[in-house]
Amino acid sequence: MGKPILTTDVGDPADMVREYSCGIVVSKDTSEGLLQGIQEMLEKPKDELEEMGRRARLLAEREFDWRIIGAKLNSALQEVASN
């Protein structure tokens, strides 16, 4: 969707948001933590949010495209089958 991402510091989503610099990761997995992240997002300049959104779209295209996921899965299955 090309929008900045707000996530908590739990698992792979947080790592991906950091890697692609496409959003805000809050350390607290609480409503207060999310509120802090929302406030931080509201304080960011529009151009910075738009750039985060572009990078979020890039993340989706590179990590979640079914052709790429299928190719990775196929490769992993072939590796398992050859062992």
The domain limits of the chain are 5-82
pLDDT tier at 10, thresholds 50, 70, 90:
confident
Tell me how far apart the alpha carbons of residues 21 and 3 are, in angstroms, rounded to a whole number: 12
- The predicted-structure confidence for 23-37, as pLDDT tens digits, reads as follows 999 987 788 999 999
Instruction: Answer whether 0.85 is exceeded by the pTM.
Output: no
Amino acid, single-letter form, for residue 9: D
